[in-house]
Amino acid sequence: MRHLTLLGAMLFCLGSLALVQPAKADTVDGVTLNLVKATLTGTPGDILTWDYSVSNASGVQIKGLSVSGGIFLGGTPIALAFDNFNNGPIADGSSLQGVLFSFASDPSVQDSFNSGKFELTVLLFDANFDTANLSADYSGTIRPATTNVPEPGTLVLLAGGLLAGLLISRRAAH
């Protein structure tokens, strides 16, 4: 009966993975923003940090000016984590990865979920010094840590499998 429950859980998880959409990139004026991993999880007291990947095909250099996120519950948003493209401009035709935003979860809040859009403002070094506003969807989940203790039946099955493997290998050696 337990193996049917386990099989059902595995099928549910596989079905859920089919529904998960990959992070979508946003391109404005030839500048493309993508989150390295848009969905993050952690435990109370963890700091979740979203990293970005930016590509510049604008024809001019670009510089990151600022980033903002939605309203975060159960902790403190840290927009100052943004590295401003490593404090320098990115040349046309170049790409860069770095830190976009962080969220410090409150250790006393056991469960929280935050989602929204990060808004990134980029300066283009064109004749007008235009700006481009890019966005990326994110989510962050905080859940208490769980410890998985194997059931005694699982340990017996594991020991039996190891014993069978040992006996088969010894028989093949003779």
Domains and CATH numbers, the chain: 21-144 (2.60.40.10)
Query: Which residue in 115, 102, 107, 28 sits closest to 70, CA to CA?
Result: 115
pLDDT-based confidence at 2, cuts 50/70/90?
very low
User: Mean of the pLDDT values across residues 75-81?
Assistant: 93
Query: Is 124:60 a contact under the CB 8 Å cutoff?
Result: yes
Query: Is 143:163 a contact under the CB 8 Å cutoff?
Result: no
Q: Can you give the pTM of this predicted structure?
A: 0.71
Question: What per-residue string of b and e applies to 17-56 under the rule 16 or more CB within 10 Å gives b?
Answer: eeeeeeeeebebbbbbbbbeebbbebebebebbbebbbbb
pLDDT at position 149, please?
66
The first and second tokens of residue 11, run together, are 């099928």
The DSSP element (H or E) to which 159 belongs, if any, is: helix 152-173
Tell whether the model's pLDDT for residue 126 goes beyond 90: yes
Average per-residue pLDDT for the chain: 84
pLDDT at position 171, please?
78
pLDDT at position 25, please?
80
